[in-house]
Chains A and B, each alone.
Chain A
């Protein structure tokens, strides 16, 4: 029987929402869905899967590419090769996916955000979402995929009957890489997730010296200043101000993005804002696909003009 093996993304006892996307693409692919997860109490709708395989091991052991490969070998020796091994395109999902691709010499397409059933083609983002590549595997057999969060969840549905549950009893644990501890982000006084109005700046501001002028504009607008990852990486703004998958998820009334291109990791952190306004000199910038209002212009000029109007 042809099946797809879904590797659950779990973290500190939570069955991540992103697992709906790995399930959703399975529904499109029309495969029997076999979920692999640690044998721990997670809350989720089990009736959406045909089979659930629970590996008797700790979550941190499961979330390690060296260990998951061994678990999957056990699944394959019991059930035969899957048509697909599917993971979320998250920090741990993508890490395990590519390691397995190397270990088992399998094709891998990462960050898949679309599937064309008729042509059996996967869409993958290139050049920060300016172009998509249509990919297919060039060989028979198992293909590994990681899927972009939010791309396929609308295709999920419940099965007619409850899933079969199976167990993997013995999991071997690699000594070559071991979990030590979690490290939490430091708490700071500014919480951008609470702001109603965010003025968010990206690499397009050019350099650190521009920050005070954007801070001044934020002050005049009574907005809070946030930024995209490069702005934080370059230490132009503190880490607590970062919007995106590896920063904060924000839902302000207004998100005013200046000089931000709209890479998926950024969009994922702000797309649910009530109103998104984007200013960018590149009319093709992907952020305009998510914005409610757009301005094609030099951000510095817009900033200075706004300051003029507001001060005058």
Chain B
């Protein structure tokens, strides 16, 4: 076992009971921050194809702007012929699209990474799947007369930094990603109008890409020749191109913006540390990959051989499926680990790749529980 693996297992062994309680939760969001809201979905909710909106995680940089129903998104800059200002009601002229997609914070799992790194110390709960309804960004850019030489689309929300000295949250996505038919400007989530915490009135939907691209309170869309600049492009949301030793810093020549989230699976139940009645047991959870559909999910029970779990739900890149694995348990302590493989061949690793900001944690999820 390498040093990273040893440290991860050591930390887990030392604190598994408390961490289990912290990360499992019940029927309410778990607060990693009350102001601004940094709220996690309890693991127990990951036994559904659609995460209920009231249990859907909330990540904030600066907290929301005012809820203004007619807030406009401005499509402007030098790479459109016809700048537009569009409120929700103005989007009716475009074809409406509904799709199902996983939204995951880039830092989900940061609290599990060793050596530890600063940031919101998410357990497993900064992820969820919802149905999103809106219009294609591509159609809106077409209506604005997009200059075909644009190479990126720069984006900003209406949320302002708390002080002028705090960098604004500005991002960009490459033009190909902006023109992908799954990239939406959304106004509904799980069939209901977006709530303020989730970006009302308009947010960007970028299936398969980490949540930092899913701009809430979308206010500015500006095609450009270059990517956006600033802290959140040049310092934040970057990962090493090739792995670096744990505890070391990124270097300019070995750093790139994170985009697609890697293959991952999570066990919703049994909960870690849970006591359950004897008899038929079922391990249930979700599996997803930003790059491709899920090909298989396997369970390792009590350190035995990996066995396939059954999958439910529609497969697809950037969306999750449920997995189920049933067995008859003897009384006593049981352990399970889960790993997913996507259709592109990526296999969820035993240990996540360490990086200085704790992005894209996707190690095997393990639970231990007692059967009476």
A and B associate in one complex: no
Q: Which positions in B face A, CB cutoff 8 Å?
A: none
Q: Could you tell me which A residues sit within 8 Å of B by CB distance?
A: none
